[in-house]
Chains A and B, each alone.
Chain A
Amino acid sequence: MLSPYRVIDLTDERGVLAGQMLADLGADVIQVEPPTGSTGRGVAPFFADRPDESIYWAAYTRGKRGTTCNLEDDRGRDLLFRLLETADFLIESSDVGRMSELELDYQTLRDRFPKLIYTSISAFGQSGPKSQYVGSDLAIWAAGTPLLMSGDDDRAPVRISQPQAWGHASGDAAGGSMLALHARHQTGHGQHVDVSAQVSAAQATLAQVLAHQLGAGDPERYGGGVKIRGQAIRGTADVADGYIVLLMGPGPAVGHFANHAVKWLVEIGAAEPELLDENFVTYADRVATGQADPALFPRIQDIMREAVATRTKQEMLDISIEYDLLLAPVLDIVDLGNSPQLEHRGFWQEIEHADGRRVTYPGPPLNILVDGQQQGICRRPPPELGQHNDAVYGELGLSTGEISRLRSEGAI
């Protein structure tokens, strides 16, 4: 869908997903690295059989072409300018101020490239009192407020073990860039898109980031669940081979799922058939007016926990579908790797690297039909350092001789 558009992707590990999202939608994305390679090539994990090759970098440069360009060198900068003549988007994620030092910031480039959409991804934003702060996944998660809400109540708050913050910011950068493209259709001009990972992280709070301003209490962290307004709600339950996410509650939004759970519990003989007469959609209201027993629902929760404890994750998933319950298995990485659902949807993609290895990737993030025709992800393998220098710079009209001179002079 985005095949008419070209993206010059100057990001490092902090913004590298954004360009990939556009590449998967058809854009021609050129990852431009310093001649020594991006710092992203040093981010863990590394391939089991290639301890020097970053899986992180491969994961998010799949689908892009790759060149090198020394932005501190005048000839390298000239080359970048020639690339930008052909580009619709520039995306960067360097330390705030670095692009100005290089005289490659938006203010400097806008007159020369008035149609260019220039997207910056940073920890806190391009200006403001914290713009010079050093970002990290953990600090961003802390600043955006989700970190304090996550974890067990008797230990320190805890993050997700695969860092997430820059991924959220990159996703917003892709969306913001597309909005700027639509604006360009209207005005003829590009503009600067400024993404703050702190703001992106605030999205991961279910709008609780607004709690204080609305006069509501802060949620408190509670392992596998949440404490809100003094009430602790466990969100997970133990099963025979691990855990499930289990949400049971009365009320108009979820009470019918509790009714379904009771139906299952009665059928397996774990609960008495009289309970089928209870309606948990209206239960809470009737408890409030003294017409229902407040001890009933907690008792059913206990029965439910006992019933699931002897069953496996897979059994509970099947039961959940059959009875329409609000529960799901807690899948680990091994489970995902062997998931029949992902297999059926063609989630895993084997892609041949430049060196001939066949590597399995996740994706696509979406299953898209254009005019009824199935679209795939961009199956281009992650580029080796400078792999497409000849092709990309050749397209700009440089001869092989000029390209090798630039290479020997350290410009690319």
Chain B
Amino acid sequence: MTLPDGVGPLAGVKVLDLSWIVAGPTVGRAMADYGATVIRVESPTRIDTARVVGPFHGDEPGVEHSGLYGNVNAGKWGLTLDLRVPDAQEIFRRLAVWADIVCESFTAGVLARWQLDYSHLRELKPELIMLSSTLLGQNGPYNQVSGFGSQGAGMAGIQDLAGWPDRAPAGPFGPYTDYPAPRFALTALLAALDHRNRTGEGVFIDQAQAEGSMQLLAPALIDYKNGGPALQRRGNDDPQMCPHGVYPCLVPEGRTEAWVAIAVATDDQWATLAELLGAERSMSLEQRREHQKEIDAAITSWAAGMSGADIEETLQRTGISAHRLATTEDAANDPQLAHRNHFRRLPHSLHGETVVEGPRYILSDTPIQPARPAPQYGEHNLQILNGVLGRSDSEIEELAASGALS
């Protein structure tokens, strides 16, 4: 029994996903969502970190409990391979020939040692499309830096820019370079697929995840490189908005804190807010920034007796940008996210049901639902080895005995 095609614009597209943790798997997830047949290869002896990072089902750690792993691998088929074993390398080679697209995120040079890098695979299949995604790229003096997106955040300048000017950087939440990088990779892979379909030409994409994140710092980088100042972390200050900050508000029962974000962009918005605060209505941005401390204090005392939800609704009704700092419970109950059907419940053989995020775009004529939850270890080994590669039961047993599947 071979793997059935998916449903959607990428139906029939075959992806061999050897990437791990978040930045790479997120790309394969998006392609699986839209119909591609994605085989996720991993080794239970070198555990994917995403499997041991929460949030866990029922707050219970375990390699089959991770909501993170589930979120970035839903819809894929699972195969276990230990690529250090020659028989596993041969399986991988066969699957690369089967595939339209190979995604991997090993430290630069590792696949080359096994002769499984792009230059070798291209000899087997010239029209192959391949993504190699690492923190800092395939070449350069620091291409051997390995690690997670947290290290990437450090080396992409993001870590340094999140926090208060009088303190060490607080940094963003989590491995930040894992967040922008998949957007660039997915867009390029889909362009490569389009190009290959028209021309038959293969494509290799060398992604430095840090360089993807740095696209979101481009204004600061251009400023510094062209004689301007080097941007430094500045709390929640914004040079073109005031007031602009995160303010404490009424703490609901059962919680220890609550906050609301308020961003005032125009003089008119300020006049409206000033009326609520009993402050001077006619103040320019410069004047407001001069009196920022007093304004922040006035907002803090106004907000103290109101819930974040009330403040958000009151200000949004009058055209001022505001939102409570959503907890994950708020997100679960957010009517807007519900309207977009953002959280998708999928039946799960271990957990009864799991929940993953939907795609981050709604295509009006191409609705999707992930076909299945993320694979458990080796869940589809037989289907893939037999159905796709035609290995017999006894051959599969031999493979297992050689350690190729562990």
Binary B-proximity of A147-173 (CB < 8 A = 1, otherwise 0):
111111001111111111001100111
A43-B148 contact, Cβ under 8 Å, with A212-B327, A333-B221? no
Picked from A147, A163, A179, the residue with its CB within 8 Å of the CB of B366 is A179
Identify the closest chain A residue to B244 (Cβ).
A138
A34 in the interface (beta carbon within 8 A): no
Docked-complex contact A161 and B336, CB < 8 angstroms: no
Q: Is B18 part of the contact surface with A, judged by Cβ < 8 Å?
A: no
Could you say which residues of chain B place their CB within 8 Å of the CB of A275?
A: none
Contact check: which of B170, B229, B355 meets A152 at CB < 8 Å? B170
User: Given that A137-B263, A361-B218, A370-B195 are contacting pairs, would A145 and B201 also be in contact in the complex, using a CB cutoff of 8 Å?
Assistant: no
Q: Is the CB of B232 within 8 A of A332?
A: yes
A residues in contact with B141, CB < 8 Å: 340-341, 344
Would you call B236 and A236 a contact (CB within 8 A)? Answer: no
A176 vs B33: C-alpha distance when bound (angstroms): 12
* Interface hits, B167-216 → A, CB 8 Å: 167-176, 178-180, 183-188, 190-195, 197-199, 201-208, 211-212, 214-216
B-contact 0/1 string along A212-253, CB 8 Å cutoff:
111111110101111011000001101000011101000111
Q: How many A-B contacts at CB < 8 Å in the complex?
A: 546
Binds A, one of B64-72, B93-101, B286-294: B64-72
CB distance from B231 to the nearest CB of A (A): 5
- Give residues 351-387 of A contacting B (CB, 8 Å): 359-372
Q: Mark B50-84, 1 if CB is under 8 A from A, else 0.
A: 01111111110000000110111000000000000
Instruction: Find the A residue at minimum CB distance from B201.
Output: A371
Contact indicator B162/A229 (Cβ below 8 Å): no
Complex Cα spacing A44 to B240, Å:
7
Q: How far is the CA of A148 from the CA of B260 in the complex (A)?
A: 10
Interface residue from A136, A143, A254 paired with B49 (Cβ < 8 Å) = A254
A238 CA to B167 CA, complexed, in Å? 12
Asked if A25 is an interface residue, CB under 8 A from chain B, the answer is yes
CB neighbours of B197 from chain A (8 A): 185
The answer to whether A194 and B150 touch (CB under 8 A), given A223-B167, A336-B221, is: no
- Contacting A at CB under 8 A, from B109-145, are 122, 135-145
- Residue pair A185, B9 in contact (C-beta under 8 Å): yes
Given contacts A145-B331, A206-B175, A224-B170, contact A334 B230 (CB under 8 A): yes
State the interface size on chain B (CB cutoff 8 A).
Answer: 167
From 155 to 212 in chain A, residues with beta carbon under 8 angstroms from any chain B beta carbon are 155-164, 167-168, 171-176, 178-183, 185-187, 189, 191-196, 198-200, 202-212
Within 8 Å CB of B229, what residues of A? 48
Q: A203-B179, A209-B357 are in contact. Are A366 and B228 (CB under 8 A)?
A: no
Are the CB atoms of A156 and B247 closer together than 8 Å? yes
Question: What A residues does B71 contact at CB under 8 A?
Answer: 207, 210
**Counting CB contacts under 8 A, is A292 at the interface?**
no
Set of chain B residues within 8 Å of A181, measured between Cβ atoms: 190, 194
B361 and A366 within 8 A (CB):
no
Q: Which residues of A contact B240 (CB under 8 A)?
A: 43-44
Most buried by A among B58, B59, B220, B335: B220
Q: A369 with B203: in contact, given A150-B170, A171-B187 (CB under 8 Å)?
A: yes
Q: Is the CB of B335 within 8 A of A128?
A: yes
Instruction: Determine how close the nearest CB of chain B comes to the CB of A218; give it in whole angstroms.
Output: 5
Query: Which residues from chain A contact B39 at a C-beta distance below 8 Å?
Result: none
A sample of 20 inter-chain contacts (CB < 8 A) reads: A21-B183, A47-B226, A55-B228, A130-B336, A148-B259, A156-B246, A162-B216, A164-B216, A176-B361, A178-B186, A183-B8, A183-B34, A199-B340, A212-B332, A247-B150, A333-B224, A345-B139, A345-B211, A362-B221, A366-B206
Given contacts A45-B239, A194-B362, 14 further A-B contacts (CB under 8 A): A130-B316, A136-B261, A136-B265, A142-B323, A151-B162, A174-B187, A185-B9, A196-B340, A207-B72, A212-B332, A245-B150, A251-B52, A326-B147, A367-B205
Closest 7 CB pairs of A and B: A171-B183, A176-B361, A128-B339, A328-B151, A216-B55, A178-B190, A136-B263
